[in-house]
C-alpha cells in the first residue's frame, strides 16, 4: 500500500492512506498548496487526503515549469469530498495559470452536469466574498459558463463524441465516470487539448458496475502502474476496501473512507449499512466493484463451515431450543443446540417454515417432548411476538440482554474458528444463512446484521442464541443422560 503525505511536508502521513496511489515526488515543486489556499477561501478547506491528491496532481517540472501529469484519475467512496477538491482545482486552473484557460465539466449526462455546475460550482462561488466579483455567470441553455474576468471559462458539456470540439481545452473533467460505457468523451477531449502547454484531464468516480468499461480500464491501468512504479504522465489515486474486508466492521470504513471523522460520521455510515443492500453499500461506501467483492461467506469461510459437517452427529442432554423470525415475518426457524457424548456441540435446524403462526404450538410440542434446559428468544428481535404465547403455556423463556447477544455471537464464532467444537448436519437452511451473513457493531462487540432481505438468517440467529443458552445458562448444565438424535421431530 502506498502512503501519501498529508501536505507538501515529506514527514507528515495520512491517517487513511489510499489503497493505490502515485507517490509524491519531493524533488518536484507543486502547485497543490495554492489549491489548498483557494479551497479555504471558498469556505471548504481541504481535508488531508484532498491536499495530498492536489500536491501530487499538480507537481511540475522544475526546469520547464510544466505540469508533470496530463491525466489525473481519482476514485473514492461517495461523500468523500471529490467535488470540493475538484472545484478548488478548477478555480485554480481558471485564475492561477496567468493566461485565459478553458475548462469543461461533464457528469453522467448533461442534465446531471448542469445541476452540479449550477447547484455546487456556481452557488459556492457566488456565496464566496473572495470570488463573487471575479466572474459572471451565463446560464443560457447550451452555452452555460462561469466567465472569469481574465477571460477563462468554466462550462459544461454533453457526453458525446463531439464534446470539446471547436476550441482548445486546458482542463477537461469526466466526473461520475462510472456512467461512461466507452471512451468517446475522452477521445473528444484529447484533440482539443493537444496544442495546449499544460493540459490536464481529470477522471473522477466511485466504483462502477459491469457496464462501466471506461472506468474499469482506468482502474486496472492505474493499479498496474502504481504497482510497477510507473506514471506515464498519469497519476492515479484509489481509496477502497480490499475484496475480503468485512463490510460491516467500522475498522474497514476507517481504512478506506478518507472523509470519515472529517465530514462523515461513523454513525451515518452505520445507518446506511443497515438500510442499503449490501452490494450497493459496498460500491458506494467501500468503493468496491461488484465483481471484485463476493457477497457470500464474509464472516466464516465456507471451507471452515464445511470442515465441521458430521451427518451422524446427534445430541444428548442438555438441549437448548431457540427460535427466530425474519424482519418481514415471512419465515421462521427453530434450532437446537445440544451437547454430544464427546463434549462437542451439536447444531441442528429442527424446523423452518413460511410464516410464524405455527411456531408457538411447535415450540410447546418440542418442550413437552424433549424437556430442554431452556428456550432462548431475543425479546428485542422479530421473534419477540412468540414470547407471550410461550409464557401463557407455562414455558419460561430465557431472554438475552444486548451484551449477551454479542457474547452469543462470540461463542458461536469461536466455536467455528478457534475451539472448533461445533458440529452440524450440512443443512441448507444453516448453510444459506451463514453464507449470506454479515456483521453489525453492537455494544462493543458485534452481532449478525439483517441487511440483505434476500437472505434468511433466522436459522443462524436462532443457532447463535441456542449455543449461548447451552454455554452460559445454568439450567443447561443440570440435565444429564442420553437422548436420540432430534432430526426434525
- Domains in the chain: boundaries: 20-285, 302-477
Answer whether residue 12 shows pLDDT above 50: no
Average pLDDT, the chain: 91
> Residue 34: how many CB atoms within 10 A of its CB?
16
**Average pLDDT of the residues in 3-31:** 75
Decide: helix, strand or coil at residue 173.
Answer: strand
pLDDT band of residue 489 (cuts 50, 70, 90) is: low
pLDDT in tens, 133-144: 999 999 999 899
Answer whether residue 285 shows pLDDT above 60: yes
pTM: 0.75
- Four-way CATH pick for 302-477: 3.40.50.300, 3.40.50.12280, 3.40.50.10420, 3.30.420.240: 3.30.420.240
- Four-way CATH pick for 20-285: 3.40.630.10, 3.40.50.300, 3.20.20.150, 3.40.640.10: 3.40.50.300
Rounded to whole angstroms, the Cα distance separating 439 from 248 reads 5
pLDDT in tens, 381-404: 999 999 999 999 999 999 999 999
Decide: helix, strand or coil at residue 374.
Answer: strand
- Name the most confidently modeled range: 243-252, 273-282, 423-432, 445-454: 423-432
**Average pLDDT of the residues in 302-322:** 95
Specify burial of residue 430 (Cβ count, 10 A radius: 0-12, 13-18, 19+). Answer: buried
pLDDT in tens, 114-156: 999 999 999 999 999 999 999 999 999 989 999 999 999 999 9
441456542: which residue's cell?
A: 466
pLDDT band of residue 8 (cuts 50, 70, 90) is: very low
Check if the beta carbon of residue 40 is closer than 8 Å to that of residue 128.
Answer: no
- The answer to whether the 20-285 and 302-477 domains have the same CATH topology is no
* DSSP designation for 255: H
As a whole-number percent, the residues of the chain with pLDDT over 70 amount to 92
**Average pLDDT of the residues in 255-268:** 97
User: pLDDT at position 166, please?
Assistant: 61
Amino acid at each position: 500500500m502506498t502512503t501519501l503525505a498529508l501536505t507538501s511536508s515529506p514527514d507528515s502521513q495520512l491517517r487513511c492512506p489510499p489503497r493505490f496511489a502515485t507517490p509524491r515526488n519531493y524533488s518536484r515543486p507543486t502547485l497543490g498548496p495554492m489549491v489548498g489556499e483557494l479551497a479555504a477561501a471558498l469556505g471548504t478547506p481541504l481535508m488531508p487526503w484532498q491536499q495530498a491528491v492536489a500536491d501530487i496532481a499538480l507537481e511540475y517540472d522544475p526546469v520547464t515549469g510544466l505540469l508533470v501529469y496530463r491525466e489525473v484519475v481519482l476514485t473514492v467512496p461517495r461523500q468523500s469530498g471529490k467535488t470540493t477538491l475538484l472545484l478548488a482545482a478548477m478555480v485554480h486552473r481558471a485564475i492561477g495559470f496567468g493566461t485565459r484557460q478553458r475548462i469543461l465539466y461533464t457528469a453522467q449526462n448533461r442534465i446531471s452536469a448542469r445541476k452540479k455546475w449550477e447547484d455546487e460550482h456556481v452557488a459556492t462561488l457566488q456565496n464566496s466574498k473572495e470570488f463573487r466579483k471575479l466572474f459572471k455567470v451565463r446560464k443560457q441553455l447550451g452555452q452555460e459558463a462561469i466567465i472569469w474576468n481574465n477571460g477563462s471559462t468554466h462550462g459544461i458539456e454533453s457526453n458525446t463524441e463531439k464534446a470539446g470540439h471547436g476550441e482548445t481545452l486546458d482542463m477537461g473533467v469526466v466526473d461520475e465516470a462510472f456512467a461512461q460505457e466507452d471512451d468517446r468523451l475522452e477521445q473528444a477531449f484529447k484533440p482539443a487539448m493537444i496544442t495546449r502547454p499544460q493540459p490536464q484531464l481529470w477522471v473522477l468516480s466511485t466504483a462502477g458496475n459491469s457496464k462501466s468499461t471506461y472506468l474499469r480500464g482506468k482502474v486496472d491501468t492505474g493499479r498496474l502502474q502504481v504497482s510497477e512504479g510507473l506514471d506515464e504522465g498519469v497519476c492515479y489515486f484509489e481509496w477502497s476496501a480490499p475484496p475480503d474486508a468485512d463490510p460491516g466492521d467500522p475498522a474497514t470504513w476507517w481504512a478506506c473512507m478518507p472523509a470519515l471523522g472529517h465530514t462523515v460520521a461513523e454513525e451515518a455510515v452505520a445507518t446506511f449499512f443497515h438500510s442499503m443492500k449490501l452490494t450497493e453499500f459496498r460500491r458506494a461506501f467501500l468503493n468496491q466493484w461488484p465483481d471484485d467483492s463476493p457477497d457470500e461467506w464474509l464472516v466464516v469461510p465456507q471451507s471452515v463451515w464445511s470442515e465441521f459437517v458430521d451427518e451422524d452427529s446427534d445430541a444428548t442432554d442438555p438441549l437448548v431450543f431457540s427460535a427466530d423470525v425474519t424482519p418481514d415475518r415471512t419465515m421462521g426457524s427453530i434450532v437446537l443446540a445440544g451437547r454430544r457424548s464427546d463434549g462437542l456441540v451439536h447444531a441442528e435446524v429442527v424446523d423452518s417454515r413460511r410464516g410464524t403462526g405455527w411456531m408457538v404450538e411447535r415450540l410447546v410440542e418440542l418442550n413437552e417432548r424433549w424437556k430442554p434446559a431452556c428456550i432462548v428468544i431475543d425479546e428485542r428481535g422479530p421473534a419477540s411476538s412468540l414470547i407471550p404465547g410461550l409464557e401463557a403455556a407455562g414455558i419460561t423463556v430465557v431472554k438475552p440482554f444486548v451484551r449477551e447477544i454479542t457474547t452469543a455471537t462470540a461463542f458461536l464464532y469461536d466455536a467455528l474458528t478457534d475451539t472448533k467444537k461445533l458440529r452440524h448436519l450440512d443443512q441448507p437452511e444453516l448453510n444459506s444463512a451463514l453464507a449470506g451473513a454479515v456483521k453489525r457493531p453492537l455494544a462493543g462487540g458485534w452481532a449478525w446484521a439483517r441487511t440483505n432481505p434476500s437472505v434468511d438468517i433466522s436459522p443462524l440467529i436462532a443457532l447463535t442464541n441456542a449455543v449461548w443458552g447451552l454455554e452460559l445458562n445454568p439450567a443447561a448444565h443440570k440435565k444429564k443422560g442420553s437422548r436420540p438424535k432430534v432430526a426434525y421431530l
